[in-house]
Amino acid sequence: MEKKQKKILLIIPDGVSLRNFVYTSFYKQAQAMGLEFVFLNLTPLPLTDLGLKEVVPNQMRQHPLTDSYKNAKKRVELNQFIKRFNDKVYHKYWFPLKNSGYKSVIKNNITKILIGIFNSEKGLLTIRRRIKNLESKTAYYKSCYEIIKQEQPDLVYCASQRAVLAIAPIQAAKELDIPTVGFVFSWDNLPKSMLDVETDYYHVWSEHMKQELLRYYPFVKEIQITVTGTPQFEPHFNSDLKVSKADFYNYHGLDKKITYFCFSGDDITTSPQDPLYLRDVALAIENLNKDGYQLGIIFRRCPVDFSDRFDAVLEEFKNSIVPVAPLWKVVEDGWNAKLPTPADQKLLVSLTEHTAGVINLGSSMVFDYVSHLKPCGYMNYHYTANNVVEKGVHVYDYVHFRSMPKTNAVYWLDSPEHIKDSLLNMLDTSTNGIIKNGTQWFQYINMHPATEASNRILHNICSLVDK
């Protein structure tokens, strides 16, 4: 008798999930292993256009109270982290509630009331339970329930542990006694109180992240966690995605005589002073070129930053900076409508391959570049209200930077005057241990070999459905 093919329902709630599980080789590897994947698509991008089987729920809306409860949960949870670990760093993850209209004012007032009522460990458990109950009462939940009941998957896999829209289908799967797995998609999410989707099992990047999950969420047990790595970095090791330097330079109109650095932008919340940093790097490049060097900057903005805040700098330094925009697109209005395209994977791989290094404010691009044995420079100063330069940036106080090796894994750009020497050091990779230390950091953060993440995820899925 022929063995029945195992079916997995994969929840894709956002652009990052597309990048990790649709645009990598994950799906092809799953097919090669004899697994059938159906995508529960919560994005506006039709996956049928990519030849994938998708199901789309109706009335894709969360309960009107869920946002208030979620925001309260975050603040209460961070308060408990401060008490549990006697560490005030978690205050830095408090982001102000924004009042953009009368509806948000009402939501935020409800949030404040909930914080006052449930600001304790016991209250936190109540909030978590109520969020799941609220999401299980929606028309959207009923649609997910009927889809899962009809599809009869052997397992439901959620590609993001922080996507609130994924709570309803996960709760529906649990109601139908179907095992669920959640992927913790980012290296900084767990200390920030971003476990919003509770599943039966969890996949994490590393042993370090596994210990974080156990530390911050004691209701999760070790037996529920598998270390898999992330598919996020696999494209960097795929030779099919790399174009030649000549083709890359020709396509983007680059000067063949110039060695380029990448300046990788952050979102405006993380780095509001990014245009100032870009200008400082451009000035350093111009000064080096006056000394006979032939250097330039390729500017890759944050994929979800479509603002005009860099325009003045790009115009002022148009002879030094070449903007190469990420190949993301706005599909429609909404929080999850800024989506990557498959072509952006190839662009990012080629960009890291053909630039000398990357400069940014504390982003995970350090790992993209160390995958190519290229260095990273972290901006490590800020401008005061009086336009005075002071060393240090608050983001490096965040918990995930405590994972860095004690020896330098990046170049620290502590002032505008420091940039020139750092750029020269980044060009000479043979005389320092920055790349070696960066590689050690990468191996600590993400299970190696990095090329095997999809394979590990799929093998664990197989073991779970065979139980």
Query: 23-79: per-residue pLDDT in tens?
Result: 999 999 999 999 999 999 999 999 999 999 999 999 999 999 999 999 999 999 999
- For the chain, the three-class secondary structure string (H helix, E strand, C coil) is CCCCCCEEEEEECCHHHHHHHCCCCHHHHHHHCCCEEEEEECCCCCHHHHCCCEECCCCCCCCCCHHHHHHHHHHHHHHHHHHHHCCHHHHHHCCCCCCCCHHHHHHHHHHHHHHHHHCCHHHHHHHHHHHHHHHCCCHHHHHHHHHHHHHCCCEEEECCCCCHHHHHHHHHHHHCCCCEEEECCCCCCHHHCCCCCCCCEEEECCHHHHHHHHHHCCCCCHHHEEECCCHHHHHHHCHHHCCCHHHHHHHCCCCCCCEEEEEECCCCCCCCCHHHHHHHHHHHHHHHHHCCCCEEEEEECCCCCCCCCCHHHHHHCCCCEEECCCCEEECCCCCCCEEECHHHHHHHHHHHHCCCCEEECCCCHHHHHHCCCCCEEEECEEECCCCCEEECCHHHHCHHHHHCCCCCCCEEECCHHHHHHHHHHHHCCCCCCHHHHHHHHHHHHCCCCHHHHHHHHHHHHHHHHCC
The domains located in the chain, with CATH, are 7-62+138-230+450-465 (3.40.50.2000), 66-134 (no CATH), 235-445 (3.40.50.2000)
What is this structure's pTM?
0.95
Q: What is the mean pLDDT of the chain?
A: 95
Predicted confidence at residue 222, as pLDDT, reads: 98
> What residues in the chain have per-residue pLDDT under 50?
1
What pLDDT is recorded for position 1?
45
